[in-house]
Amino acid sequence: MSRKYHIITYGCQMNEHDSENIAGLLEAMGYKHCDDPYKADVTVINTCSVRENADKRFFGTLGQFKKIRKNDPDFVLAVCGCMPQQPRVVEEINKRFSWVDIVFGTQNIAEFPRLLEERLKTGRRMRSIIANNPDITEDGMKPVRMHRHKALVNITYGCNNFCTYCIVPYTRGREKSRALPDICKEIKGLVSEGVIEVMLLGQNVDSYRDAAGNTFADLIKAVNEIEGIERIRFMTSHPRDISDDMIECFKTCDKLCHNIHLPVQSGSDRILKRMNRHYDREQYLTIVDKLRKVCPDITISTDIIVGFPGETEEDFEETLDIARKVRYDSAFTFIYSPREGTPAAKFEDQIPDEVCHERFDRLVDVMNTISFEKNQEYKGNIYEVIAEGISDKDDKAISGRTDGFKLVNFTTDKAPEELKGRKVKVRITESKTFSLEGIEVTE
């Protein structure tokens, strides 16, 4: 009987894609996927550290494996991702969670098969973390992808921005852009496997620049030329680095989806400065204007942090104000969470929890009202949706995404398997805050 693996993934798309690569490495070693993390021979926990609740969830999960490991000495538990890139975490694992067999980081995933083999051969605990690997590569990786029709594609690794609240530059190392021809080669390979939609990934895609001097706009134009690709998305844009050339791509590149995730983080110039974001509200609003001029139906989503150290009621109202000015289609809102080792964690004027929660609730109210109102504009119209599978909310409906990334749950006569990855025309019959409902149109 073949050995089985399970991967638990927390965090962002970058982690999701790392897990796809890890699955590929395990399958190359002969392992088969299984759904139960407690019944596998190898379970990998791919961790995130962006906020404190991510830390808590991780340590909670680790605790649950103590008994499994005790009852089955052959079971292997591996931990990877952003948590162990911080020395304090590895120390804590070694001290309090001795049943963790293997620990590796975000920069040396390719090393995992060797660590696993050595663990199985010697029974030794394996730890291998590289703080900042300039040779990080995906060459030779054969990811086991979550979806058949759409794929995550790394274009940059790491981050050089050092926003003062953020742990990512410490867990992912310095920014490095992959060569444009390598990215295009990977995408052409994906097309031959049935992929029609790509999500280009980077912590700041706009600072992409490869050794030959190609920019992010050059990359989008090149991907737009690849036959078989029908939708191009990217994540995440940084208002500091977004270029007019890139914005123009929304007009000139027909496959580029009319959607952008453009984190604003705060609407107050004073707070943006303390966050080290390198733009002010006027510059941000100018970018939004340009985007809407070039691409009138573009959907815009954002990330906002509430309760950053020193945030006054006036600063917060500036955030509410910019949200009302931009009228976001959707927003991810977070309460500021101090991260050890980042500059903001040492700022003295931390905001009390009650104030954070009160502001958070007010912001969510404003954001949800806007999302709901914007979604009403879709009612009665027909949109092209790429079907993804049975809806999480209603097992009689299929869900999919519009070009603008709106989630649509729709009914159809066809079997879900038949529709997966296919373009479907859907008439919107109902608009909610976070999704649209509709029915397939087949004239």
Rounded to a whole number of angstroms, the minimum distance from the CB of residue 11 to ligand F3S is 3
Rounded to a whole number of angstroms, the minimum distance from the CB of residue 314 to ligand SF4 is 24
Rounded to a whole number of angstroms, the minimum distance from the CB of residue 387 to ligand F3S is 28
Build a one-symbol-per-residue string for 187-206: x at contacts with ligand SAH by CB under 6 A, - elsewhere: ----------------xx--
Question: Quick one: angle between helices 112-122 and 13-28, nearest 10?
Answer: 50
Rounded to a whole number of angstroms, the minimum distance from the CB of residue 345 to ligand F3S is 15
Burial class (CB in 10 A: 0-12, 13-18, 19+), 417: exposed
Q: Residue 48 or 190: which CB sits closer to ligand F3S?
A: 48
Rounded to a whole number of angstroms, the minimum distance from the CB of residue 235 to ligand SAH is 8
Q: Which does 336 bind (CB under 5 to 8 A by kind): ligand F3S, ligand SAH, ligand SF4, none?
A: ligand SAH
Q: Applying CB under 6 A, which of residues 21, 49, 330, 371 lies at the interface with ligand F3S?
A: 49
Please provide the distance, in angstroms rounded to a whole number, between the alpha carbons at the two ends of the chain: 50
Q: Residue 6 or 233: which CB sits closer to ligand SF4?
A: 233
Rounded to a whole number of angstroms, the minimum distance from the CB of residue 338 to ligand SF4 is 14
Which residues make Cβ contacts (< 8 Å) with residue 127, sequence separation at least 6? Answer: 90, 94, 102, 103, 104
Q: Applying CB under 6 A, which of residues 236, 259, 299, 431 lies at the interface with ligand SAH?
A: 236
User: Are the CB atoms for 418 and 407 separated by under 8 Å?
Assistant: no
Question: Hey, what's the torsion of the CAs at 398, 383, 16, 185, to 10 degrees?
Answer: 120
Tokens of 153: 């594609």
Q: How is residue 209 annotated by DSSP?
A: B
Q: Which does 337 bind (CB under 5 to 8 A by kind): ligand SF4, ligand SAH, ligand F3S, none?
A: ligand SAH
Rounded to a whole number of angstroms, the minimum distance from the CB of residue 212 to ligand SF4 is 24
Region from 97-105, 164-172, 253-261, 362-370 binding ligand F3S, contact rule CB under 6 A: 164-172
Q: Which does 162 bind (CB under 5 to 8 A by kind): ligand F3S, ligand SF4, ligand SAH, none?
A: ligand SF4
Tokens of 258: 């009319």
**Residue ranges binding ligand SF4 (CB under 6 A):** 159, 161-163, 166, 168-169, 203-204, 238
271 forms part of the interface with ligand SAH (CB under 6 A): no
SS (H, E, C) 306-342: ECCCCCCHHHHHHHHHHHHHHCCCEEEEEECCCCCCC
Q: Rounded to 5 degrees, what are φ and ψ at 436?
A: -115, 155
Q: Residue 166 or 408: which CB sits closer to ligand SAH?
A: 166
Q: Applying CB under 6 A, which of residues 40, 77, 82, 219 lies at the interface with ligand F3S?
A: 82
Q: Rounded to 5 degrees, what are φ and ψ at 419?
A: -90, -20
Pairing of β 299-306 and β 259-261: parallel
Count the residues in the chain. Answer: 443
Q: HSE (CB half, 13 Å, CA atoms) of 112?
A: 30
CA-derived radius of gyration, the chain = 22
Q: Residue 11 or 400: which CB sits closer to ligand F3S?
A: 11
264 forms part of the interface with ligand SAH (CB under 6 A): no
Distance CA 31, CA 25 (A): 9
Q: Residue 100 or 287: which CB sits closer to ligand SF4?
A: 287
Residues that bind ligand SAH (CB under 6 A): 50-51, 165-166, 168, 203-204, 236, 238, 263, 265, 303, 305, 334, 336-337, 339
